[in-house]
Amino acid sequence: MRSDRGQSAPLGLKIAAACGLLFLHLPILLIFVYAFTTEEKSFVWPPPGLTTQWFAVTWNRPDVWDALSLSVRVAAISTAIALVLGTLCAAAVSQTRFFGREAISLLVILPIALPGIITGIALRSAFALADIPFSFWTIVLGHATFCVVVVYNNAVARFRRTSGSMIEASMDLGADGFQTFRHVVLPNIATALLAGGMLAFALSFDEVIVTTFTAGQQQTVPIWMLEELIRPRQRPVTNVVAMVVVLVTLLPILLAYYLTRDGDQIAGSGK
């Protein structure tokens, strides 16, 4: 956006842009403000008083810790699975030619294009059919379906920019497959994997729809929040957790953006 450097935009446009940004971000600020309110039964504006007591209350609530820990574990393991599978798949699709290659690359991306509710129903009926009880691992599986896509998209974009003869050059110079992966392939795709991995982590962390279909009794953070909003008890605790979630998901996304801004788009970030 540097097409007319030095030339200022008209005032009307500036105001419109500011309004747009406010519309997007003011509600988030409100969430933050309510975390400090003294009124616990309902959200009233303006807050009758300000307090930091909810941070302590949140800290001492075991259900918050359970939900957070579950979310972090699910996100970490789904991301780990996605990193391995997504990279392998991207390597296969971009480095070799085989029958059905295009179909596979479409099928991999499909879960992110499908509405989450479809993925959720499909997984739930599949689990029921196979008689798999809902557990931590069913949530992980559900999340892995879309985490793989994010990693795959990032890795495939990087593989495309990587010259295929580099791998041959490495072999030619005496490196076996493992050495070539370690010294040539990995350094060249590392930032793409880091970006994809962090995005996958963030996506998994705030996922609701697929989780509602694949979780049993456990509550991830977003599910816990939904439940909490129905019960009018210590409401600002939700807001405190929301602040934490925003920070936990925003930082990786920002980092991913900075790591890949020269060239790679963070594909599939729209989920």
Partner 1 sequence: MTSAVSFKQVSRHFGSVRAVDAVDLDIAPGEFFAMLGPSGSGKTTCLRLIAGFEQPTAGSISIFGERAEGVPPYRRNVNTVFQDYALFPHLNVLDNVAYGLMVRGVGRTERLKAAEEALSLVRLPGYGARRPGQLSGGQRQRVALARALVNQPKVLLLDEPLGALDLKLRENMQEELKSLQKVLGITFVFVTHDQGEALSMADRVAVFNDGRIMQVGTPEDIYRRPNTRFVADFVGSSNVLPPDFVQRYSGQHRWGSLRPESIRISGAASGDGVAARLVGTNYLGATTRLALDADGLRLHAMVPAGAALPAEGEAVVLTFNRDSLHLMDEPA
Q: Which residues bind partner 1 (CB under 8 A)?
A: 163, 165-166, 168-176, 179, 183-184, 187-188
Amino acid in position 21? L
3-state secondary structure of 99: coil
- Minimum Å gap between C-beta 194 and partner 1 is 14
Closest distance of CB 180 from partner 1, Å? 8
**Sequence letter at residue 93:** V
The distance of Cα 1 from the centroid of its chain, to the nearest Å, equals: 27
Least spacing, CB of residue 167 vs partner 1, in Å? 9
Nearer to partner 1, 38 or 179 (CB): 179
Nearest to 156 by CA among 265, 261, 271, 269: 265
Cα four-point dihedral sign 258, 243, 73, 119: negative
Shortest approach of partner 1 to residue 189 CB, angstroms?
Answer: 10
User: In terms of CB distance, is 77 or 189 closer to partner 1?
Assistant: 189
Q: Minimum distance from CB of 164 to partner 1 (Å)?
A: 9
- Whether the Cβ atoms of residue 136 and residue 243 lie closer than 8 Å to each other: no
Q: Which amino acid is at 154?
A: N
Q: Between 33 and 175, whose beta carbon lies closer to partner 1? A: 175
Shortest distance, position 183 Cβ to partner 1, whole Å = 7
Measured from the CB atom, the residue of 50 and 190 that comes closer to partner 1 is 190
Dist CA 134 CA 210 (whole Å): 13
- Distance between CA atoms of residues 23 and 49, nearest Å: 25
- Measured from the CB atom, the residue of 168 and 227 that comes closer to partner 1 is 168
Burial 50-87 (b: 16+ CB within 10 A, else e): eeeebbeebeeeeebeebbebbbebbebbbbbbbebbb
Residue nearer to partner 1 on the CB measure, 187 or 270 = 187
Closest to partner 1 by CB, 121 or 171: 171
CA distance 76 to 109: 21
Q: Cα(210)–Cα(122) distance, rounded to whole angstroms? A: 10
Write down the least CB distance from residue 157 to partner 1, Å.
Answer: 16
**Hey, what are 140's tokens?**
């992980």
